[in-house]
Each structure stands twice: as C-alpha cells, then as structure tokens.
Chains A and B, each alone.
Chain A
Amino acid sequence: MHFLNIEQLALQKDFDALLPQERAQVLANMSQTEYEQLRLMLFNAPQLDADVVPPPALKGRLMAQMRAQKQAPIVSKRGLLHRAVPVWQMLLAAAAVIPLIYIALGAKNQGEMQPITLVQTKTDTVFQEKIIWRDRIKVRTRIVFREKPNQPEMATSDLFPVPIAVSPIGTTEMNPVSKGSSLADDPALMGFFTK
C-alpha cells in the first residue's frame, strides 16, 4: 500500500476503526503506534499557526499602492493631452521633426540591403576541349625548269614525206622588205576591185 493511501486512511479512520484488510495493509508498512502518531500529526499540522493573520495595516498599504497604480496613467494622460501648447511651438516642433524623418529614412535606405540577383547556371553537358597537335604542312610550289637538249629541227621531208606541189599565188616574188604594191602602180590589182 502506498503511503498516500495510508495517509488518507489515517485522516479518515482511527486504527481501531480500520477494516481487517486495511489494518493488515497498514501493519505491513508500519506499527500501530506509528499509525497513531501519523494520524495525530496529520490532524495537528493544519492547526499549527492557523490563527496567524496578516496585520490590517498591510491591506491599507496595498490598497493605497493599487490606487496609485490606477492614478498613474490618468495623470500622464492629462499631462500630455490637456496641456495648452502654443501653435507656433507645435509648428516648430513639426518643422524640426521633418528633417529628422528624412535623415532617418536616408539612413534606413543606406542601411538597407540591396537584393542581389544570383544567376546560377546549371550545366548538364560538359564539353571538354582537347588540343590536337598536328604537323604543320607547308605547301610549296616549285617550278623547276628542265633543260631540254637541242633537238635537230625536223626536216619538212620528215613531216611531209610526199612532196607537195605549191603553186605561187602571185608572180611577184615575196620580198620581205617590200611594203606592198600601190593600186595606182598595179592596174591588175585595181582591176580586181573594179570588176
């Protein structure tokens, strides 16, 4: 049996009033004398100092404090709201506040953190650049002149084995230094045009 149950029993019943089962449970934990002492103590403990009361002056002090607490905000309201303030003072105060607001806002803007857009590139394909070394190829065009051996001029007879009969066009022999015949000098020639 837990001691709290014994405690409840002790508060309710005298040892002699306990049922046999309850008595057995109590005796398993303590003697009859101890039970009676516990019962005596439990009844006496709440009575100890029961007649002690706070002094009446205490209530008076606390109520005064409560009144002071209640009046404190009212006094403050009257002081702020019902006090006559000249118009020029109000305007001056307002004018003094405006630069302060600008300064405060400026400082705030300066102090603000600017958002930074971060572009994070995601690459899913990797190109690997590979350097391939190659031999440099130089192309040079070389003109080679080969000396040809002097071949003997072919004889006309070699080209034309059969002799060709060449009839002279004119009677006039080809004179390489001749500049030609004038129409006036050669009537036959003139006749060629006039026929």
Chain B
Amino acid sequence: MAKVFHSPTRSDARNDRHPLREQFSPEPLGRKTPKSKTPGRPSDRFITDRSAMDFNIANYMLAGLEENAVNNGSVHSPSKEEYKKQLAENLLRCNNHQRQSRILAFKSKPPPPPEGFENSRKSLYSQNASPGESKPRAYFRHIPQTAERTLDAPDLLDDYYLNLLDWSANNVLAIALGNTVYLWDATTCSIAELLTADEDGPVTSVHWAPDGRYLAVGLNNADVQLWDSQELRQLRSLKGHSARVGSLAWNGPVLSSGSRDSSIINHDVRIRDHVIGRMEAHEQEVCGLKWSPSGHQLASGGNDNLLYIWDASAASNQGPSPYLLRLDDHRAAVKALAWCPFQSNLLASGGGTADRCIKFWNTHTGVCLNSIDTQSQVCALQWSKHEREILSSHGFSQNQLCLWKYPSMVKLAELTGHTSRVLHLAQSPDGYTIASAAGDETLRFWKVFGDPEALKAKSRSKAKEVGSVLHSLTRIR
C-alpha cells in the first residue's frame, strides 16, 4: 500500500516515529537518535523527542535556535516569529519553527461544563484507584472479615438522616423497622415488639437511656415518646418539634432531640414542662446528635454541613442558647458523630457523599486535628472502648466498614458484606461487638474490636508460657 508523502523529509519524519511516544513530528533533525531515558543534552541540532517535552530545555533551545530559523529555508514573517516567541514563553514546550505540519485549532471553543458540575467518574472509580496507602495492613489481632451473624431487617428505611439502631446497657438492641420498634435481646436472642406507630410513623429515631430500661423514640409526626422496655408501655410523649425527629441523645435525665425543623430541644423527662432548652443554629435537618461522655458538651451535625458544639450549662437555660463552636469544614451533611472514650474533648465526625471525610476535632479549641478522605460517604462512627481504634461505616461503592487505628489512621481492616450503604452502627455494652444496619435491610454483627474469649485465652497461654520458662529455669539449676 502506498502511503501519501508530501516531501521526502516528511516521510523520514514519519518512519522515525516511535510507537509509544507522543512527541515526534515537529523535529526532522532530531530523528534517528534512539530515545534516551534521560532528557536530551541541549545541543543545537540533535534534539531527542523527549527533550522537546521539557519546557526548560525547549525554551532554551528555542532562544538559541532563533537565528537558525533562517537557515531552514522557510521564510517567516516577523509577526509569526513574534507569535512563536510568545508561545514559547508562555506554554510552548517544543521548538516548532522547524516543524513539518501546521497545528490548527478552531477559533471558537466548546462551552465549559455547567457550573458546579462535579466529575461523577470520580466517585465511580476512586475506590479502585485508591493508592496503596489504603491497603489494609497486617495487624497482630485477627479481625473476622465476615459478619458473625446476619439478621433480616425488613422495611428498614433507607434514609441517611435517621438514627434507627441502638444497643442498650442491658444488652438489648432496639431497631426501628418502618412504623415498628423491635427489641432484640442479645443475651437470649429473643425478639419483642415494643410499639407500632401506624398513624404517627414511621419511626425516625431510637435511643436508649443510659440505664438501659427506657427508650426514647422519635417519630415522623414530630413527637418524641418515652417507652419502658420492661413493661413494654409508653410513659410519656414529649412535644415541641414541628417536623420529624431524626436524632436523639441522652445526658442523664435530659433528652436532646434534633429535628427536621432544624432545632434541637432539651427535654427534662422528669418534669411536667419538659422543654428546658431550645437550641437553634442549624438551618436544616439535624441528623447527628451526641453528648460527650462527660456530659459537658453536645455535638450536633446537620444537613447544612455544619457541626455545632454546645455547652451543657447553656443548654439547660430557657430560651435560645448560643453555641460554643461552629465548625464548617465538612462539605456534606454531618451525621456520623462519635466522642472519643479515652480522650476528653476529642470528637470524630464524618461527612456525607460530597465530603467523604472523617475529621477529628478538639472541641475545646475547635481545631481540626486530622481529616481523612475515606473515598465514600461516612454514615456512622464508633470508637473502640478497648483499643485506640475507630470504626466507620460507608456507602457507595463498597458499603464497607472500615477499622482505623487512631491517631495514625492506618486502615486495619475493611469489612464488606452489606450490599447497600451501612446507615447505622451500634456497639454492644461490652464493646466487642458491633451491630450494623444497612439499606439492604439486614442487620449484621461484627466482632471487630476483638474477642473477649480469645483475649482471655491469649493471656492464659501467655501466663503458661512464662510459667514454663520459669519452670525450665528451675529445672536447669
């Protein structure tokens, strides 16, 4: 087959092309030299294609070869020369005044992508393209990769802004499925149906009081109800909100409730006029609410991407109370909140799909201590009570649970199994088992924070070892 060649020099240039290089044509003189791996030496004639890509060298070459351009035979107008000079200075990375082809671009340009458009491919592929740093590292403790137990959770609402799972101090798990709240006793594996809110439902949040007997239930009709889990009866109903109550938190006898009407109300459940404080700073639904272990501070996260820290003393005052801190680093709804059990004033917060970060805060100063991009929506966070570790649950694309070492934030394990975003996490009272509820309508139990049995066995065997060593010592002597 005959190829089209306009001039002999051109054909030379064509045959010289290296199949896997990009830079080739504008340099008929730089041919035949095998491509060196290192940038080519700056000489006036033999310029490797590689060096043509090097801005500095190319620029230098261009300056040096400006006079030689005349030798090339082709006549250039001064304006053209000037144009090239400008290009060279600005962005040109090759000296193309000896080129064989003319590079043309259409004068009008295509429109830019619409404002605020984010490349959706990023979330599609970022999980796969994540560099080695996210690889789970070997760790001395065995972390089971599969769920210990899986329970069916039909009608579990796939709503990011709700809090439908909690584990009591009495080892009873409360979960809201549609309009009904079920209690699952983890000791006996027995199931009880606590309530069904047909007209007022669905249930939008559940939260155990610290004593493990009373359960606060937030409803879609803006009510908060208090239930006795032993007698399975309602104690009282707390009104005050005007929209669904998606988050609840206890602090002693005080119940804080966060609602879609963007307010947080503190109820003292012992007294008749139960509303003792109203905190209004959020502009959208409050979806995350957690009291610090000390009970001095309340963290609230909202759909307005804001995280507020409130003081307990201010919270009990009547009337609007000012917040301590307003943290606006997240770029999506802040639902996942967890106070560190071993370090006071340390709060972990996770953002939604557009943010994907876990951030650590000193709630005294408001300083962000660390921020980790998890490559996926952060739905819930749980600290380990035994190790300096934190567990996060995620959504698309892997719907996994991630176990992180704190403070290095090395990923210790990635637990997959759920087929939809893992919306809720709850920790067993002994701190070893984690329950996770996901949009795939399953409830799974994971022994991520170690196994008490294994720990005991280990310590026993260790003791034995030491004993045998001592034994042998005594025998030798």
Answer whether A and B are interacting partners.
no
Spell out A's residues near B (CB within 8 Å).
Answer: none
Spell out B's residues near A (CB within 8 Å).
Answer: none
